Structure 1
């Protein structure tokens, strides 16, 4: 069970994570946005898009790799001064992303296994 590092679409998903991380740290470093127009924490919540996509297409290995990449990219933001960053909220949201990645990835793996078993049973029945 390895991340699909040879697939172009996997790297496009990882690029999306990089973009979210850049947007997030830029917002934090430049004083944030007016929360009336941009809800607090949205960039981290948007990580559920690439993590969910990676889970659906690559199973647990894809969602786990994408989540670990996101956490690594978020590390500089977590180390910002308290007046610029909000690491407590970021840690909670990253934990939610990790839990979603785990559960969705495991569910997709289970579905793939069930499908493979059903196909094998059908092939055996036909033989």
Structure 2
């Protein structure tokens, strides 16, 4: 069998078991015993968000609102009677805002992942 930390072949008496599927060699067992357990407390609430991501999401909402208003105004001013033009304007606004909103959500998730990972090694 192999040590789960260093992958060294171990046999017989030299094995320390963490659980039934996790053997350690003598050297790794000594290192893990000396190492203090570091407990990391995650104090991040669900309502607390990364400020940068929240600002990007706010910009996306502004794009949706102002873009929809602008699309309707352009449709009325252009004088084109086709509803396809209005739908294409609104679709472009929706996709642009959705991309910005998704970018903000990704930044928020990355911030939450960063907060969960302990920096002490």
**Common fold by TM > 0.5:** no
Give 1 or 2 for the bigger CA radius of gyration. 2
Greater RCO, 1 or 2 (C-alpha within 8 Å, sep 6+): 1
Higher strand proportion (structure 1 or 2): 2
If the length of structure 2 is used for normalisation, what is the TM-score?
0.41
Higher helix proportion (structure 1 or 2): 1
If the length of structure 1 is used for normalisation, what is the TM-score?
0.40
